[in-house]
Amino acid sequence: MSASSAFNDEKGGSSSVGEPEYGHDPASGGIFSSDYKRHDDLKEMLDSNKDSLKLEAMKRIVAMIARGKNASDLFPAVVKNVACKNIEVKKLVYVYLVRYAEEQQDLALLSISTFQRGLKDPNQLIRASALRVLSSIRVTIIVPIMMLAIKEAASDMSPYVRKTAAHAIPKLYSLDPEQKDQLIEVIEKLLADKTTLVAGSVVMAFEEVCPERIDLIHKNYRKLCNLLIDVEEWGQVVIINMLTRYARTQFLNPNINESLLEEGGGGEKTFYGSDEDEDEDEEEKEKKAEVAAMAKRKPYVMDPDHRLLLRNTKPLLQSRNAAVVMAVAQLYFHLAPKAEVGVIAKALVRLLRSHSEVQYVVLQNVATMTIKRRGMFEPYLKSFYIRSTDPTQIKVLKLEVLTNLANETNISTILREFQTYIKSMDKDFVAATIQAIGRCATNIGEVRDTCLNGLVQLLSNRDELVVAESVVVIKKLLQMQPEKHSDIIKHMAKLTDNIQVPMARASILWLIGEYCEHVPKIAPDVLRKMAKSFTNEEDIVKLQIINLAAKLYLTNSKQTKLLTQYVLNLAKYDQNYDIRDRARFIRQLIVPTEKSGALSKYAKKLFLALKPAPVLESPFKDRDHFQLGSLSHLLNAKAGGYQELPDWPEAAPDPSVRNVEVPEWTKCSSREKRKEKKVEKPFYSDSEGESGPTESADSESDSASGSESGSGSEESGSGSESEESEEGSESEEEEEEEEEKDKKKKKKELKKPVPETESLVTDLEGLTSQNYELLHRITGEGLSVEYCFSRQPFSPDANMVAVQMQFTNSATSDTKNLHMEDVKLQSGMRVKEFPEIELLSAGETATAVMGIDFCDSTQAANFQLCTHTRKFFVSIQPPVGELMRPIFLTENEFKKEQGQLMGMNEITEKLTLDAKCRNEHAIVQRVTTAANLSRVPCGSDKEFAGRTVTSSSLVLVTVATKEEGAAQLTVNCEKMVIGTMLVKDILLALTQ
């Protein structure tokens, strides 16, 4: 059978002896399949001379792997194609090899030379894939080859390859830990990389290989803080967690003065004391001395680098990635001053509402935070109210948070909520609610009686579990003030006939025995009843019956002597050895005989000693010593690989270790001087031209914080420490003011480009999206609707365009049930409807967001906009520029992609620019208004790049300006229909 016929049979779904996943006969797969010809068709396709068949075979193999199917027997056939010249085939071959290289080490070793050649491939994806496969072969014999490959990749011109090298470092370290020193050198080199693509990966490698080498972070600290906003999301999480631990070792505790005041605050009260102060203990005098020393101490001034970290992480609280928000929240909780921690509360509450899948982790962290920082979550109390649809574990955590937030002001509201929760059908949740009521009563004395009375009412509940849990909690509350609640003890004694839950019966018996002097008439009768049913009781109840008998024997032996002997005789022959031992021990202790020792004299002290009231504490009380968001914090136990959160240093380490020498050219104030200095630098010395924009960012940050290094080094060589401490403060303040002025000037001059989201900030300042009318208020009988394309990613579906709609009710009556119906779309288009607006009151405005997949066309999406009384036919038609999303390309990448889209994929038009549109800022603003594209930094012309939302087709635009307003517009687009329409829109924008 030829390869083509095998391919056709496979496409047709033949189920004779081929791949069982594609068969239609159930008996053709599983244990009844004939494996001797398994995957023969795929092997023939891989042996074919046609790249199309090889590509189809590799796609199907990779699809099998994605579905969890075993394709390891194809390894010899696949590995032969590792030298294939077709790029697409080679990519998929490398994907397969990464998956099976560790399982098929012997065969993979035969292709080592091919992988080494792949490391020299012109295509960066192939170089990265070759390194990824090489690091996946877990054989110690190739460690030197892997080390050499990682070192070469760390110096690669492509940041993607350097990122892959960072990923390979932990793999090699786990294979051969003896390579640690050489790997640290590579990590140090990659930490100095100025591209955002590499930052997160190299920090992860640092964390796994040498987290103790904190000296490697010093010189890169400010750069990491400044790059953080542009690093990919998972890299942000890694960097933030690392910087949290770094900051705990390098900066002082910003709350140190407050903590000292809290510990020794009572010392100031003795200022106007009497002569009795002479008799105070030495400890109190020491506390006074500490407070006095603290008063003399200078007020805390935050280190500028500490402030830099807090300032640069704060915007990430708005991230759409829940893990990033959680990372910033834990950083602020562990590092920020008490007055500034409150900013994380709103972000965490937003996570609870919008990300149901992370509620458990968020609530775990919030529960820990509310113990020490209760005030910041009090405004959001209602956000922690429990819904009937919440899982039990979420309900319990919300209960924990509500209990921690309870105080004298809001306790009445919280107790009303708890009263509703007790009626739930979820028994575990009801039990947790009763425990929460007990904790509230313990912490807030004003409501103790109210809670106790409420729990007593629950004793008449029909549900045994509710009654049992109430008894256990009441027992703990009564231990605080037993003399005031003898009536409750009597009431609980009457329940022994009805309550059958062992723990509840045992708790009642313990209470009666412990406070038998408060119920002297009832206690002996309870013992009589319990003696009757002793043999049928559970073990935990029997033990408490024995204890009750012993206590009554010691306090009221006249009435209970015979009962006690009867109970002890029954227990003496019980099947449970604990009960037998307890009975023998108590008999010897309370019934003195000749053989009894001296211990019997102390029986009353042993049994009737005052016992401390139980402290009902939160299970999250001591979890804050674990880093929030970590697995150890979640488990409340140290997990493998966990790095302890360091304690704050007592004295601030030397801040000069973070100073970095600023290159001379960055100190020039004019563009002409900087350009002259740039000529001396090697061309694209580090990262294919991408280091240019980020170096300007680094130089700005370094100059902002590094001026201290220059002045500090000079002063240290010429002046003494005392002169620095007295005279240095004024000069530092003047230098800081000058630095702020310099920074403002540099921001105006440099206009530094930043990848993706911030690349257009300077050029598009004040730019707003255009509003379109969807429904006029006259046509809509008082209801008017406008919409705009927000140019924000539509989070439920990345292939949809986000459309923001604004509804205004100008009528005198309310509009209800605003929703969409009867959606009519062209082939391939899809719509994600906006949530129904249940009520829009007269004179009010509401907004909603819907998503539309226009399938890369400007065809209109038609639908009915419905209220509770009317239906209106409306349609949304997008301008061609709204079908795109911006992407970041360097100048080199732009030229390369443009060179591949010549000829049929290029449209060129000459034009004369409008008089108001002859400066760079105006051109950029008008082009980006007409099309949602991103500006390419450092280009000689005005260059823009983007991709279509649905098919990710590349769109490149160039505006080359000439003299006297003449310009040339070039559009390169994979889809010529879109390119043609885009040319018209941009021409219109530039000539009017």
pLDDT tens digits, residue range 593-605?
Answer: 666 666 677 777 7
Is the pLDDT assigned to residue 39 strictly greater than 80? Answer: no
In sequence order, which residues have a C-beta less than 8 Å from that of residue 360 and are 6 or more positions away?
A: 393, 394, 397
pLDDT at 692: 38
What are the angstrom distances between the C-alpha of 446 and each of 411, 441, 742, 751, 851?
A: 10, 8, 59, 62, 53
CA dist 754 and 956 (Å) reads 19
Q: Is the dihedral of CA 440, 442, 443, 447 positive or negative?
A: positive
Give me the residue label for tokens 């991103």.
Answer: 934
What are the angstrom distances between the C-alpha of 40 and each of 69, 81, 322, 806?
A: 16, 16, 46, 60
Is the pLDDT assigned to residue 730 strictly greater than 60? Answer: no
Helix (H) or strand (E) holding 862: strand 861-866
CA dist 704 and 745 (Å) reads 12
* Helix residue spans in 444-498 (DSSP H): 448-458, 464-478, 486-494
Is the pLDDT assigned to residue 865 strictly greater than 80? Answer: yes
Task: Please tell me the least confidently modeled range out of 235-249, 252-266, 848-862.
Answer: 252-266
CA dist 437 and 414 (Å) reads 9
Would you place residue 803 in the very low, low, confident or very high pLDDT band (cuts 50, 70, 90)?
very high
Residue 459 and residue 507 in contact, taking contact as beta carbons nearer than 8 Å:
no
pLDDT at 19: 42
Is the pLDDT assigned to residue 578 strictly greater than 60? Answer: yes
Q: Please give the backbone phi and psi of residue 753, each rounded to the nearest 5 degrees, phi first.
A: -80, 140
Which of 948, 990, 689 has the alpha carbon at shortest distance from 958? Answer: 990
In sequence order, which residues have a C-beta less than 8 Å from that of residue 239 and are 6 or more positions away?
A: 199, 200, 203, 224, 228, 231
| Chain center to CA of 631 | 12
612-622 pLDDT tens trace: 766 666 777 76
Angle at 171 between CA 169 and CA 175, to 5 degrees: 115
* Helix residue spans in 719-765 (DSSP H): 721-750
Neighbours of 210 (CB within 10 A): 18
Cα atoms found within 13 Å of the Cα of residue 594, Cβ hemisphere only: 0
CA dist 819 and 265 (Å) reads 60
Q: Please give the backbone phi and psi of residue 947, each rounded to the nearest 5 degrees, phi first.
A: -135, 150
What are the angstrom distances between the C-alpha of 18 and each of 23, 332, 945?
A: 8, 58, 46
| Chain center to CA of 966 | 51
Which of 247, 250, 225 has the alpha carbon at shortest distance from 312? Answer: 225
CA dist 516 and 494 (Å) reads 14
Q: Please give the backbone phi and psi of residue 623, each rounded to the nearest 5 degrees, phi first.
A: -85, -10
Residue 128 and residue 161 in contact, taking contact as beta carbons nearer than 8 Å:
yes
pLDDT at 758: 40
CA dist 751 and 492 (Å) reads 77
What are the angstrom distances between the C-alpha of 36 and each of 19, 40, 43, 387?
A: 11, 9, 13, 57
What are the angstrom distances between the C-alpha of 725 and each of 659, 716, 722, 730?
A: 19, 12, 5, 10
% of the chain surpassing 90 pLDDT: 16
Neighbours of 729 (CB within 10 A): 11
CA dist 531 and 699 (Å) reads 86
Give me the residue label for tokens 């009572």.
Answer: 266
Angle at 75 between CA 69 and CA 81, to 5 degrees: 120
Is the pLDDT assigned to residue 486 strictly greater than 80? Answer: no
Q: Where are the beta strands (DSSP E) in 595-647?
A: none
CA dist 196 and 190 (Å) reads 11
Which of 53, 23, 22, 19 has the alpha carbon at shortest distance from 38? Answer: 19
Task: Report the interhelical angle of 691-718 vs 304-313 (nearest 10°).
Answer: 160
Which tokens go with 504?
């509840």
Count helices and strands in the chain by DSSP H and E runs:
40, 15
Residue 976 and residue 905 in contact, taking contact as beta carbons nearer than 8 Å:
yes
CA dist 710 and 716 (Å) reads 10
Is the pLDDT assigned to residue 155 strictly greater than 60? Answer: yes
545-567 pLDDT tens trace: 998 888 888 888 888 888 888 98
Would you place residue 17 in the very low, low, confident or very high pLDDT band (cuts 50, 70, 90)?
very low
Q: Where are the beta strands (DSSP E) in 105-237?
A: none
Is the pLDDT assigned to residue 390 strictly greater than 90? Answer: no
Across 132-145, average pLDDT: 84
Which tokens go with 860?
């209109």
pLDDT at 238: 93
| Chain center to CA of 461 | 43
Which tokens go with 447?
């409501």
Residue 172 and residue 183 in contact, taking contact as beta carbons nearer than 8 Å:
yes
* Entry pTM: 0.57
Task: Please tell me the least confidently modeled range out of 438-452, 730-744, 830-844, 963-977.
Answer: 730-744
Amino acid identity at 502: P
